[in-house]
C-alpha cells in the first residue's frame, strides 16, 4: 500500500521532493511534546512515517492532497515540530507534509503595513526580514526560532507581547489554504469584512485537520519608538491580579505583563525575590510620550494597591533569557515527569483556579514543584501557565502520573469555569476535554465541519476532535 502511494506521489510531483531516507523520516515523526519524548526514551516512540513530502509551492500541496484523498492515505502537516500537545504522531502509513520547505517571503508592503509569507517560513526569519524594514508582526512566541508562521496559525499561538499587540488571530490578515478536496481558498485582504463568518477562523487552531495552510498575510506595525520597564511586588497572587486588572481596565496596555507566583519568583529572580512576594514584570512600548505616561500611571496604580516597585533588573534579565528553554530529556531520564499547561479565565475566576490547581497538583505522590505565572492579560481576564515537576518511583508509571497531573489542572479549570487552553492548542493531550470546553453541540459542530471538509478523514484525524 505504502509503495503504491509513494509511486503515485512520485508521478504527481517531482520525485526529488519525496524523501524516504531514515534520517528525514526520523526527524519528522513527531512533535516536541513530553509524551512523545518519553515514548522515545522508553523505546515505544512514534514510528517513521511512510514518506516525507517537501512541497515547493501551493500547486505541489494540491497534488499531494489529491493523491492522498483519492487513495485514503493519512496526511499530516508538519511545520517545525515545536508543538507541545502531541499534535503530530506518525504511523507507518502516514504521509508527512513537511511545510518548512515552503519558506519564501512573498511580499512586504510598507504602505499598507502587510506582509505575506509562505506557511513554512520560520518565525524568526519572518521577523528578521521585517526588522530590516523597521517593521514587526508584534508576535513573538518563545518558540520563534523553532516554529513556522503556518504552525502559529494552526495552533492559535500567542506571543510574549500579546497584552498590547494581540494573539495570532489579531495579527493575521489573510490566509491561503488548500482544502481537503484540492481547492485553494484565498481570503480577501481587507482591513475588515462584514461578509458572513470569518473563514480564517475555521483554520486557526485547526491543527492540520481542516486544510493545509500554504501562505499567511500579517498586518504589521512599525517598531516601537521607545521601550522601558517596570516591576512590582505583590503580597499574594490575588493582589497582583488586581494590579494587572486595574492597569488594563484603566486603558493602559503594557505589551508584556507577567506575574510569577512565590515559587517561580524565588526560582527565576533569586537576586530580587522579597520574602514570599510575587513579582510582576512589565515592558512598556510605543510612542515615547505614551510609554512615559503609562509608566507613571502604572506606578500610581501600584501605589494605590500597596504594590512596591521591584528592580527593573527583573525585566531586563527576563528579556535576555526569555527564549531559552531546557529540554525534557534529562528530567525524563531521571524518572521525573514534567510539563507546562496553560489555561485562561475571567478575573473573578482566576484566583480560585490557581489555588485549586496548585493544591491538587501538590497532592500527587512525588510532586517536587507545582507553580504558575500569568503571561497574557486582557480587559476581562488573564491566562495562567502552570508547570509541574514530579518524581515517579516506578518508570512504568510515568505516563499515569503525567496524565494525572494534566487531569488535575483540567479539572480545577473546568470546575472553576475557565477555558482549558490559552495558546498551545488541543492535540491529543487535551482532546478528551473538548466536550467540557465547547459542549456536546460544539463537538458535533466540529465533527460536521470535519466531515464536510474532509469526508475521507485523511487530514491529521486523531487530534482536536474527540472520538465519537
Interacting residues with ligand FAD (CB under 6 A): 31-32, 76-84, 87-88, 99, 119, 141-143, 146-148, 150-152, 154-155, 157-158, 207-208, 212-213, 325, 423-425, 460, 463
Cα distances (Å, whole numbers) of residue 152 to 80, 84, 262, 379: 10, 12, 31, 23
- Whether residue 98 contacts residue 46, with contact meaning beta carbons closer than 8 Å, is answered with no
- Least Å from the CB of residue 271 to ligand FAD: 24
- Contact by Cβ (8 Å): 331, 369: no
Cβ 159 to ligand FAD shortest distance, Å: 7
User: Which of 209, 413 has the CB closer to ligand FAD?
Assistant: 209
Minimum CB–partner distance for residue 352 and ligand FAD (Å): 25
Strand 172-178 to 184-186 pairing: antiparallel
In the complex, the smallest distance separating the C-beta of residue 28 from ligand FAD, rounded to whole angstroms, is 9
Q: Residue 88 has what DSSP assignment?
A: -
Cβ neighbours of residue 122 closer than 8 Å, sequence gap 6 or more: 80, 100, 103, 145, 147, 148
Report in angstroms how near the CB of residue 154 gets to ligand FAD at its nearest.
3
φ, ψ (nearest 5 deg) of residue 35 = -60, -35
If the CB atoms of residues 310 and 382 are measured against ligand FAD, the closer one turns out to be: 382
Closest CA to 220 of 267, 263, 266, 173: 173
- Looking at the Cβ atoms of 179 and 345, the one nearer to ligand FAD is 179
Element containing residue 131 per DSSP (H, E): helix 123-131
Distance, CA of 242 to CA of 302 (rounded, Å)? 10
- Nearer of residues 32 and 241 to ligand FAD, judged by Cβ: 32
Of 99 and 392, the one with the shorter C-beta distance to ligand FAD is 99
In whole angstroms, the minimum distance from the beta carbon of 253 to ligand FAD comes to: 19
Q: Considering the complex, state which of residue 31 and residue 277 has its C-beta at the smaller distance from ligand FAD.
A: 31
Q: Give the three-state DSSP class for 230.
A: strand
Residue 389 and residue 328 in contact, taking contact as beta carbons nearer than 8 Å: no
Q: Which of 206, 96, 219 is nearest to 153 (CA)?
A: 206
**Min dist. Cβ of residue 155 to ligand FAD (A):** 4
Of residues 36 and 230, the one with the C-beta less far from ligand FAD: 36
Amino acid at each position: 500500500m505504502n509503495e503504491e502511494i509513494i509511486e503515485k506521489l512520485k508521478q504527481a510531483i517531482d520525485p526529488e521532493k519525496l524523501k524516504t531516507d531514515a534520517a528525514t523520516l526520523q526527524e519528522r515523526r513527531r512533535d516536541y511534546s513530553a509524551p512523545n519524548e518519553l515514548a522515545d526514551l522508553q523505546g515505544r516512540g512514534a514510528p517513521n512515517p511512510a514518506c516525507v513530502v517537501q512541497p515547493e509551492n501551493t500547486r505541489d500541496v494540491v497534488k499531494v492532497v489529491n493523491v492522498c484523498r483519492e487513495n485514503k492515505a493519512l496526511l499530516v502537516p508538519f511545520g517545525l515540530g515545536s508543538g507541545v500537545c502531541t499534535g503530530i504522531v506518525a504511523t507507518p502509513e502516514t504521509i508527512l507534509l513537511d511545510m518548512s520547505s515552503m519558506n519564501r517571503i512573498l511580499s512586504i508592503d510598507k504602505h499598507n503595513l502587510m506582509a505575506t509569507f509562505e506557511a513554512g517560513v520560520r518565525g524568526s526569519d519572518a521577523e528578521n526580514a521585517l526588522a530590516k524594514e523597521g517593521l514587526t508582526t508584534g508576535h513573538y512566541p518563545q518558540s520563534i526560532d523553532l516554529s513556522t508562521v503556518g504552525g502559529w496559525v494552526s495552533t492559535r499561538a500567542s506571543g510574549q507581547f500579546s497584552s498590547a499587540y494581540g494573539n495570532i488571530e489579531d495579527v493575521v490578515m489573510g490566509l491561503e489554504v488548500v482544502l481537503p478536496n484540492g481547492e485553494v481558498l484565498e481570503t480577501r485582504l481587507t482591513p475588515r469584512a462584514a461578509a458572513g463568518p470569518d473563514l480564517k477562523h475555521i483554520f486557526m487552531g485547526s491543527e492540520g485537520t481542516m486544510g493545509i495552510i500554504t501562505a499567511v498575510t500579517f498586518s504589521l506595525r512599525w517598531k516601537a519608538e521607545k521601550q522601558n520597564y517596570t516591576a512590582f511586588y505583590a503580597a499574594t497572587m490575588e493582589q497582583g491580579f488586581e494590579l494587572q486588572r486595574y492597569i488594563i481596565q484603566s486603558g493602559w496596555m503594557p505589551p508584556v505583563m507577567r506575574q510569577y507566583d512565590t515559587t517561580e519568583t524565588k526560582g527565576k529572580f533569586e537576586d530580587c525575590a522579597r520574602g514570599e512576594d510575587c513579582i510582576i514584570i512589565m515592558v512598556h512600548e510605543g510612542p515615547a510620550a505614551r510609554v512615559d505616561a503609562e509608566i507613571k500611571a502604572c506606578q500610581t496604580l501600584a501605589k494605590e494597591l500597596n504594590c512596591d516597585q521591584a528592580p527593573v533588573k527583573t525585566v531586563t534579565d527576563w528579556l535576555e533569557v526569555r527564549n531559552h528553554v531546557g529540554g525534557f530529556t534529562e528530567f525524563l531520564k531521571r524518572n521525573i515527569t514534567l510539563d507546562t499547561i496553560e489555561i485562561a479565565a475571567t478575573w473573578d475566576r482566576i484566583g480560585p483556579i490557581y489555588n485549586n490547581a496548585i493544591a491538587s497538583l501538590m497532592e500527587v505522590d512525588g510532586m517536587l514543584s507545582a507553580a504558575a505565572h500569568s503571561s497574557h492579560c486582557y480587559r476581562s481576564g488573564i491566562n495562567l501557565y502552570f508547570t509541574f515537576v514530579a518524581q515517579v518511583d516506578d518508570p512504568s508509571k510515568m505516563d499515569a502520573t503525567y496524565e494525572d497531573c494534566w487531569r488535575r489542572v483540567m479539572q480545577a479549570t473546568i470546575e472553576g469555569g475557565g477555558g482549558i487552553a490559552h495558546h498551545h492548542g488541543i492535540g491529543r493531550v487535551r482532546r478528551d476535554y473538548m466536550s467540557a470546553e465547547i459542549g456536546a453541540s460544539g463537538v458535533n459542530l466540529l465533527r460536521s465541519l470535519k466531515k464536510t471538509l474532509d469526508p475521507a478523514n485523511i487530514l491529521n484525524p486523531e487530534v482536536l476532535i474527540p472520538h465519537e
